[in-house]
Chain A
Amino acid sequence: MNIVENFDLFAPRLINKKELFSCGHRACSGCAEVLSVRLMCKALGDNTVVASATGCMEIVSSMFPTTAWRIPWIHVAFENAAAVASGVEAGLKALRKKGKIDDRYIKVVGMAGDGGTMDIGIQALSGAMERGHDMIYVCFDNEAYMNTGIQRSSGTPMGASTTTAPAGKASSGQKTWKKNMPEIMVAHEIPYVATVCPSYPLDFIRKFEKARSIEGPSYIHCFSVCPTGWRSPSETAVSMGRLAVETGVFPLFEVENGHYRMSADMPKKLKPLRSYFKPQGRFRHLTDAEIDAIQERVTAEFNKLTQKAKFL
């Protein structure tokens, strides 16, 4: 039995009750990303500063003169969340060392969507990780530029229909495979890389807590179901995330100092990809042959990953 099925029983005792990301934000109903941000705040606690990129989470949470943030938060631009976070970290470090602020330990978080991380923000992210700042960077991946209207990014999966890579008579949507961002971060040889999905809140929180406890840069890749952009019913945000994990489309794993470990929540046997594709309008146009080809790739990628985790 999966612990998450008894969430109501366990969660209240295990999870921080304080809501550091308040209700009243303007996210779409059924947004898994906003759920992720809320869980992240619960996991990291009060002594956290967040630097956010431009994107859905920025506009839904900070409409002047209101804010959903009960922890210090800054937004500067689209492509520079990691650079801003590195500056906040450097600034706080200097001030703490000189005794100009109190001596508490503050964790700095940089966050952006898949576009803000994998496309326009990858340079700033690579730089911040390479420099070794004591920070957590979180990519909230909803697999397209949702804030601007569902345009394709390098995080969009093969075959998904978006407004700039639409399905049509001569096209089956996205023509490229999703960029493997966690592996790019592993290649930076940072202390901790993990994937999370809010459909698995305990695994999610545990990984954030671990990232908080590690000195140096951590990267967390969060799978954030976007019912609006994926053309799926809003009440399926959590179940869709579970299907992504259960089909191996988005495996939950962590890499600590180069050692891979699959999460306990990963099923022994993967479900077929079709069960995940079926409820989503963005994949509706795909032929059986196309789905089979994607299935082959998903299986191969998953096997590659489990091989890496095997010799722990």
Chain B
Amino acid sequence: MGKRVGLEVTVAVAEAVALCRIDMAGVYPITPQSHIAEHLSNLVADGKLDAEFVTVESEHSAMSAVIGAAAAGARVYTATSSQGLMLMHELLPIASAMRLPITMAIANRAVSGPLNILNDHSDIMPQRDAGWIAVFAENGQEAVDLSIAAFKIAEHKDVMLPVSVNIDGFQLTHMVEPVIMPSQEEVDAFLPPFVPHATLHPSRPVTMGAFSMSDYFTEIMKAKDEAIKNSKKVILEVWDDWGRQFGRNYKPVETYLAEDADILMLTMGSMGETAKIAIDELRGKGVKAGLIKLRLWRPFPFAELAAVLKNAAQLIVTDRAVSFGGPGGPVFSEIKSALFAQANRPAIYNYIIGLGGRDVAVSDFVGMFETVRADKAKAKADTYEFWGVRE
């Protein structure tokens, strides 16, 4: 069993990645990701990690380089945030179409403009349709566990897709948290060596990234959609493996006091922990409040979500990004369409919260619950509001 230690989350994530014995990392500095890159380079410099650490000149080249190395058969890693992720955007669907198992940490940060270095989810949301598996961590322990599990998911022969592990910038990345770090032996037992299907090696020459017009393109897109849908089975297996070995269990949709709740709130990422405190407070007053934490953003867990929503009358969906001119926040739109055909679906309320690092206190979550609870006639269902905005 690993030791429980106090570590900054970025450092813990870098340590976890080193335990995965990566062959190559290509990283470009950006706040609030940089500490991952710095700590990985320290581990290489100290001879604790035997990997090629490529200090590229941009995030575009970071993603390009890890694509190249993954295609060569290496276990690769990168990390980025915000503008860096936006610069990588062009390459994300290419990485997934080439079925390259790349693991990437995203220290979620607001996208400019105006320039802002603090946390929200406006960087990951525009990457929704890139064909990447996307998971969200709520605390440092989850960031460590999900990072290690990400390699196993990505490299599984029935998956072969890139995975992003989303870790809220500053709120999570820069916290010093108690983390149980697994030992090298434990990670070695959990994570088998990467066995690539095809590589760029002269012993068996292959052409990767071929040109395709209308005769095959639709079929290739369909195949990619099937691949990511099918990945859920493996994601569940790998997280179960993790639970069996380490005693910490992960599900695509997790809940807190949701079973008997009349009113549920849905969060993604680190805000779930604050929302939990608000729920405890409300439960103390006799309010049947509960929480849904969406851990798996892609592939979207439709069945799991429907299963936990069958009893509640009202659902608050929080969004950490804006879909300008759209029907609501990106998570809200997704949940609403997922539940559209379901009989007895709850009335859904959407609050945009915590943009650009705006603090969302326990009292804010209580306030959201109280506001929605007051709407007994559900007259305000489908509300879409920026919570706490000064107008």
Contacts and interface: CB of A to CB of B under 8 A. Distances in A.
Interface stretch (B48-56, B130-138, B164-172, B336-344): B48-56
B64 interface: yes
Given A91-B72, A94-B24, A71 B208 contact: no
B284 interface: no
Interface string B67-92: 11111111010000000000000110
Contacts of A79: 60
Contacts of A75: 208-211
Contacts of A136: none
Interface stretch (B195-203, B273-281, B290-298, B356-364): B195-203
B188 interface: no
B94 interface: yes
A59 B209 CA distance: 11
A72 B370 CA distance: 62
Contacts, number: 169
B210 A64 contact: yes
Counting chain A CB atoms within 10 Å of each CB, which of B57, B64, B94, B201 scores highest? Answer: B64
B202 A94 contact: no
Interface string B26-37: 100000000000
Given A75-B209, A89-B68, A95-B73, 11 more contacts: A62-B209, A63-B210, A64-B212, A75-B211, A76-B91, A80-B61, A90-B65, A91-B71, A91-B73, A101-B73, A123-B58
24 contacts: A59-B211, A62-B207, A62-B210, A63-B213, A64-B210, A65-B210, A71-B205, A74-B71, A75-B209, A75-B210, A77-B64, A80-B60, A83-B56, A83-B60, A86-B65, A87-B24, A87-B65, A87-B68, A91-B24, A91-B71, A91-B72, A101-B201, A128-B61, A131-B56
Interface of A: 46-49, 51, 58-59, 62-65, 67, 69-77, 79-80, 83-95, 97-98, 100-102, 104, 106, 123-124, 126-128, 130-131
Interface of B: 23-24, 26, 50-52, 54-58, 60-61, 64-74, 76, 90-91, 94, 98, 199-203, 205-213, 216
Question: A-B pairs with the 5 shortest C-beta distances?
Answer: A87-B68, A91-B69, A127-B57, A87-B65, A91-B72
